[in-house]
Amino acid sequence: MKVVIAEKPSVAREIAAVLNITEKKSGYIEGRGCAITWAFGHLVTLQEPGEYDEALKRWSLETLPFIPDEFKLKLIGNRGVEDQFNVIKGLCEQAEEIVCATDAGREGELIFRYILALSGCENKPIRRLWLNSLTPDAIKEAFKNLKDGHEYDPLYAAARCRSESDWIVGLNATRYYTVRHGRFGGGADRVLWSIGRVQTPVLAMIVQRDDQIDQFRSQPFWELTTKYRETVFKYTGDRFQSLEKAQPLLAKITGQPFEITGIDGKDKKEPPPQLFDLTTLQRDINKAHGLSAADTLAATQNLYESKLVTYPRTDSRYLNTDMKPRIPGIFQGLEKIYPEQIAPLNLAKLPFTSRIIDDKKVTDHHAIIPTGMEPRGLGANEQLVYDAIVTQFIAAFYPACLKKLTTVSGVSNEVPFQAKGTLIVKPGWTALFPKKKKQSDDEDDDQSLPDFSKGESGPHEPFLREGKTNPPKHFTENSLLGAMEAAGKFVEDDALREALKERGIGTPATRAAIIETLLQRNYIWREKKLLLATDMGRCLIALIRDPLLKSPEMTGEWEEKLKQIERQKMDPAEFMNGICGYIRGLIQNSVSGQLDLTRVGSCPLCGKEVIKGRTAYGCSGWKEGCAYVLSPDYKGLTLSPNQIQVLLQLHILPYSVTIDGEPRLLILSTQGQPMDLILPSADRQKKEK
């Protein structure tokens, strides 16, 4: 008997229907010498420390770090999991061959292999079904091309390394920081500080961005501009930092004629957009509609399981060469729904450029594209995501947008000016995105220009335009996903982002879940489209003194090594030895107190570094006039260096008060919001608000 294991019941039903297997049993479908069964996503996980040794159920520093000699597996404790696992195990024990039909990627491989391992069937012959979509034709084609399952051993090795490294770092760091700092504020209730190999660097990125904004001090500036023939010209020199410095130049040109000295026109081609990978789709939908990355992934997964789009968890924006013959048929299927958009295309001569077809840039899966099947009864999110995928697919085959960029130079009393304008000559692909017209950072660069002639002259209206420097922007899911994809670097250029993908934080399949985990643990919160760090999140980053644990670059290097394991370019043991060595060093250095406590945080008033003096903590910007000083002692209450770090990370100011005749330190945020009371002695473990 052949046994097929799918990742979800819905996928198992699709496969059974295509193979004409119809006899329904409890937990599987049978017929024609084949049984098709299913998991519920992950059924099997790694055991907890207490399951290796009863003594490890108690959290203590003495037992850290704990790294098993050999990892052991157990069933996830969800309802129905044990019953379904027993069904799968019974079928596998009878099977002559087992087909892996879980999602075609790292996590799908892990789900299948962990099930085999726990059921004791690892030595059975295995085959791999690799699906890019769930259409009947795709399923039939994939079954014709079943691969030896052991060809995917490197993929499983990478998946297992990911699973075990997350366990090692997350469990040991979480136990260490919770035991060491769980009562950091003197409260009676212990705080569970959850640390993750991937989630903590992402949180650190958000906290750092919020810090940059909080510490930003806007500076005024003035720009010298003039209006000639209803066109705004800008002075070509630098902005002025004070009004007094700008006024002499304004006076110099006031009442003087303005002359056009040059006209420079340049044609520009803007190529059509590339196809979507998952991260780009999530970013696009979040930017345009505010939908979260998790909701976008869920909607795309639903579309995939409804056979409307191809596999969603992909990091490629390209198609394989063997996809070329199928593309005209997909367009023909879409013509009923999008006739006007497809009409300009010649389906017999589609332009398969290198921005669409590139075998070298397709690894596990190609870009997300529609299958051409007609949608019915889609939910709001599914419709929104489906329209975006189809429109992007059509636009990729449209001609480039042709623009004319014009720069006009002028002068008044020897003071040089310039005006810039953009004229759309042929809209090309941009016709499909009327609301997505690419705007310049400066609206004056997109103004419509009249016909100027070199040498013409006339009166003008000079004026000074006041502005101020702006801080960086808070993260949205769109910008955070982009930063995660580029290992913490903020890159808008498509080509540069593509080059950095190998070192991204997390994978397209996991980035949405990382953001949701931070939200659920109250380390970040949403304010409309913005993602902001909470006080809990800021506290955690303040407590973590090891820079690598919150380093996007280090996490990006780990992810790159996992991809090298997939390609058999790195030994899995080498990766795991590095992870184990890192966590041992982290615990050892933390326990022995090898921390830099001389630099304790940023000044809540000016943003400069706070340093420790002989008797108090003070701002390093005191020479520039910042008077911030924080004494660690108040009427018998002494704040530890670690507590000082936490207070500064929260950007809060301490005020002394007396409650019931006893001294307290009342902590207020910089916005004046009361937060907590730190009590003067350890025997008073009561938390007051």
Residues with catalytic function: 311
Q: What are phi and psi of 174, to 5 degrees?
A: -65, -45
Query: CA geometry: angle at 113 spanning 110 and 114, to 5°?
Result: 80
DSSP assigned state of 168: H
Residues 299 and 648: their CA atoms lie apart, in Å, by 41
Cβ neighbours around 123 below 10 Å, total: 7
Residue 476 bridge partners (DSSP): 530
Residues 52 and 10: their CA atoms lie apart, in Å, by 36
The strand order across the sheet containing 674-678 reads 652-659, 662-669, 674-678
Residues 400 and 14: their CA atoms lie apart, in Å, by 40
- Torsion, CA 560, CA 563, CA 568, CA 572, rounded to 10: 70
Cβ neighbours around 631 below 10 Å, total: 13
CB proximity list for 644: less than 8 A, separation 6 or greater = 600, 601, 617, 630, 632
Beta strands in 303-343 (DSSP E): none
CA atoms within 13 A of residue 300's CA, in its CB half-sphere: 32
Cβ neighbours around 625 below 10 Å, total: 8
Place of tokens 């012959």: 125
DSSP assigned state of 323: G
Residues 88 and 481: their CA atoms lie apart, in Å, by 37
The secondary structure element, H or E, covering residue 77 is: none
Contact between 343 and 381 under an 8 Å Cβ cutoff? The reply is no
Query: CA geometry: angle at 212 spanning 292 and 464, to 5°?
Result: 100
Residues 327 and 317: their CA atoms lie apart, in Å, by 15
CA atoms within 13 A of residue 144's CA, in its CB half-sphere: 7
Q: What is residue 33's three-state secondary structure? A: coil
Contact between 35 and 3 under an 8 Å Cβ cutoff? The reply is yes
- Torsion, CA 336, CA 337, CA 340, CA 341, rounded to 10: -120
